Copies of this chain bind each other. A is one copy, B any other.
Amino acid sequence: MNKINIGLIGFGTVGSGVVEFLHTKKSYIANKYNTEFTVKTVCDLYITPDKVKKFGKIKTTKKYQEILEDPEIDVVVELIGGLHPAKEIVFGSLNNGKDVVTANKALISHHGKELFELAQQNGLRLFFESAVMAGVPTIKTVTEGIIGNEFNGIYGILNGTCNYILTQMSDNNCSFPDALKKAQEKGYAEADPTLDISGGDTAHKLLIMAYLAFGKFIKFNEIYTEGISQISQNDIEYAERLGLTIKLLAIAKKVNNTIEARVHPTLIPKEHPLASINSVFNGMLLDSDMLGKVLLSGEGAGKMAAASGVVSDLINLAHNPAQPILSNLTYENKALTVKKIDDVISKFYLRLLAVNKPGVLSKITGILGKHDISINSVTQKEQDAKSPVPVIMLTDSTSERNMRNALKEIEKMAVIKSKPVAIRMETLQ
């Protein structure tokens, strides 16, 4: 029987889930994987012995250094999130000869490269399956499942809060504020939901996936990020009639030697499997050169879903003690450069509120044409003839630069009565 001692730092939702998982499944894991895990010490600023006593004899501490310096601890599980002191904990653990399992997407997206290199130098492992889509094995799929392939693109629904809100708006016809409130009531959104709804959390996850898939370490500020708070019920309804669905999509694409990475609300065809990933579920479409398109989906958050990824990492670590850190974790494609958002090409959905009189449409299409933007279809919503009417346009492919310049001009027109809404489209073909 393989025996592994764990020091766990961060006893919040996921941390307590991991301890509960290992406790509940102790005999199953021992029988199937010939491994006995012991949580020796739990560290948390708010820990008290009575919080862990139902899980057996576990030492508690408020000082993470006790875990890092304990020679009996084999693996450090870091689940406090954020950059500090998580960074100090993970670097410290690897420097003290301990393998590390973490679910910290901020840390891996900012310092992954250095950490993988340090682990490799020290002959240790650093696993982080739960950093993206919780226990759904996205990291393993990209690093070990689909290998030998080169990736053309990654398209992910990576934030359960945003996907829940958009699904609510679509299925129950409610407004963004109402859907957000419902998400908070159900525990799917934090009291301060900024990091989720701004797209920041999704961007962290995209950085990790882009590094693993393309070997390019992109910085957080090189990703164009737009959240979902500007999406209205109208847009969802018009999209629906056009056979489209709005998702907050994380997109990374490689074309020749450039890579584009962006996070924004995106219209996708309703019949595409990604479009049916609803509520708190996450999904990822991986487009690879030999295998083609592979879709993975599942619960991307929640106590046991996240704990499950951490436990998988622990069993994989224990199960294969001789495994080095995968060399492809430190692989870099130095030829790749990050494409500027201005040069990114998309099709767009535009919603304008325009005064309903002859010649207005022709002026708008004139401005678009001047900026080299072709129109694919125009729908003018019938309403009371005296009020301004919504005009919905689908464009052909154009650059962000052209679109931004055209919208600036259109916005200034006297006949345009509110800020134009532009949503990018992806055919996913």
Residue-wise, chain A 206-222 has the 8 Å CB interface mask toward B (1 for contact) of: 00000000010000000
Tell which of B32, B136, B302 touches A294, judged by Cβ atoms closer than 8 Å.
B136
Across the interface, A271 reaches (CB within 8 A) one of B149, B276, B312, B320, namely: B276
Residues in B neighbouring A304, C-beta threshold 8 A: 290-292
List chain B residues, Cβ under 8 A from A312: 144-148
CB–CB A21/B295 < 8 A = no
Complex copy number for this chain: 2
9-residue interface stretch from A78-86, A177-185, A188-196, A324-332: A324-332
CB-contact partner of A290 in B273, B293, B307, under 8 A: B307
Task: Find residues 128-163 in chain A having any chain B CB closer than 8 Å to their own CB.
Answer: 134-137, 140-141, 144-150
Chain B min CB distance to A19 (Å): 13
Which residues of A from 249 to 305 have beta carbons under 8 Å from B?
A: 271-273, 275-277, 283, 288, 290-299, 302, 304-305
| Residue interface mask A315-342, B partner, CB < 8 A = 1 | 1100110111011100100000000000
Q: Chain B residues near A29 (CB, 8 Å)?
A: 148
Q: Is A33 an interface residue (CB 8 A)?
A: yes
Chain B residue contacts of A315, Cβ below 8 A: 147-148
Closest Cβ of chain B: how far from A55's Cβ, in Å? Answer: 16
Partner of A297, one of B215, B295, B327: B295
Main SS at interface, chain A: mixed
**A314 cross-chain contacts in B, Cβ below 8 A:** 148
Name the 10 nearest CB pairs between A and B, nearest first.
Answer: A137-B145, A322-B322, A294-B298, A148-B311, A291-B308, A135-B291, A290-B308, A295-B297, A290-B304, A292-B299
Identify 15 new A-B residue pairs, CB closer than 8 A, beyond the known A136-B294, A291-B308, A294-B297.
Answer: A21-B148, A32-B328, A33-B147, A141-B141, A272-B276, A273-B277, A290-B305, A291-B304, A292-B298, A292-B305, A293-B299, A295-B295, A295-B296, A319-B327, A322-B323
Taking Cβ atoms with an 8 Å cutoff, the residues of A that contact B are: 21, 25, 28-29, 31-34, 134-137, 140-141, 144-150, 215, 271-273, 275-277, 283, 288, 290-299, 302, 304-305, 307-309, 311-312, 314-316, 319-320, 322-324, 326-328, 331
